Amino acid sequence: MSEELIMKIKATVILPTTKERAPVLPYSVGSILKQTLSEIEVFIIGDGVDEDTRQVIHSLMQEDDRIRFFDHPKGDRRGEVYRHRALTEDAKGEIVCYLLDRDLMLPNHIELIYAHLQAHNFCIHSSLSVLENHEIEFARKPFFGQYKHGDGSSPATKGHYLFSQVGHTLGFYKELPFGWRVTPPSVPTDIYMWKQFMAHPSLNLLSTEDPTILYFKRGDHPGWSAERRAKDLSKFYPLMASHEAVQGFERLATFNLLKERAGLLSEPIIIRGKTPAHLPGRVLRKLKAPFVKRR
């Protein structure tokens, strides 16, 4: 990569991956390379990749010199320390974005995040969840709006944001006490990281309704095989180049959201936007406990 191009880099994109992910990478990485903001560098952070995955990554690097591959052995948890090393030693972007290797960025994701981070240092976009039946709905977020550290208690500080939704300035990352580090086994890796930002006195957060990520969750970790996931991604990836198709995603998600909200109006009990039937089992058990007669 030429020195002239390095000087123009506006965003560093972190995409972690591991073994047996070869089938999905052309889609997730491809969605990054097709962004409307092109002054980017793409860091693929390898955490114990296998040879097939390594070959696919090298093939992608030959097609686009904005990609860098950090090939590490399998580390603790999700290889968080490798992300930290790349951001502190190698990143040149003004901002940092993230993408799971199973998700897709809509074409304007980085451009909008970059614009929002001119006035803030941490930004969360909305995402569209693609369900297994290919229905599309808005992924839930705990907070919309602006928040600064010290504004008081807020759902913003819970850090319950999806990995691919988040962007922040590189300068803000370098102010953190630790950055990415090995996560305790009982805590989700991304939430553990975001809470570090939420606790920082410089936090200036913006959470928007912009739906710029297609989120594909397929079961609990590790979930579906990469081959099966790739078939899913292959159905949506070609549509990313169509402005009309992207608008269609947003309209369909909005329609499904309105339909859900209309259905809630007829429910006698709503708890945090959910009916009892949709609450996790552990929550239901807590609610029922006071009414269960002890023997």
Rounded CA-CA distance 62/67 in Å is 9
At 15 the pLDDT is 98
Per the structure, the count of domains in the chain is 1
CATH of the domain at 124: 3.90.550.10
At 120 the pLDDT is 98
Whether residue 288 lies inside any domain: the answer is no
> Token digits for 143?
């907070």
The candidate with the shortest Cα–Cα distance to 216, out of 162, 263, 255, 175, is 162
Task: Report the DSSP beta bridge partners of residue 105.
Answer: 213
Rounded CA-CA distance 99/119 in Å is 22
At 186 the pLDDT is 86
Q: Give me the sign of the Cα torsion angle 208, 250, 258, 191.
A: negative
**Do the beta carbons of residue 30 and residue 20 sit within 8 Å?**
no
Rounded CA-CA distance 143/67 in Å is 33
Q: Label the pairing between strands 95-98 and 166-169.
A: antiparallel
Rounded CA-CA distance 206/143 in Å is 9
User: Peptide bond before 155: cis, by omega within 30 degrees of 0?
Assistant: no
Whether residue 270 lies inside any domain: the answer is no
> Token digits for 242?
């169509």
Residues in the chain: 295
pTM: 0.84
Whether residue 79 lies inside any domain: the answer is yes
Whether residue 199 lies inside any domain: the answer is yes
Crossing angle between the packed helical segments 25-33 and 226-236, to the nearest 10 degrees: 40
Whether residue 10 lies inside any domain: the answer is yes
Residue 7, domain extent: 3-262
Whether residue 168 lies inside any domain: the answer is yes
At 247 the pLDDT is 75
Rounded CA-CA distance 73/166 in Å is 26
Whether residue 198 lies inside any domain: the answer is yes
At 51 the pLDDT is 96
Q: Render each residue's pLDDT in the chain as its tens digit; 295 residues.
A: 545 544 589 999 999 999 999 999 999 999 999 999 999 999 999 999 999 999 999 999 999 999 999 999 998 888 999 999 999 999 999 999 999 999 999 999 999 999 999 999 999 999 999 988 888 888 878 788 999 988 887 888 888 999 999 999 999 999 999 999 999 988 899 999 999 999 999 999 999 989 999 999 877 666 788 899 999 999 999 988 777 777 777 776 666 655 555 554 565 555 555 555 555 555 555 555 554 444 4
At 34 the pLDDT is 95
R_g over Cα of the chain: 20
Whether residue 206 lies inside any domain: the answer is yes
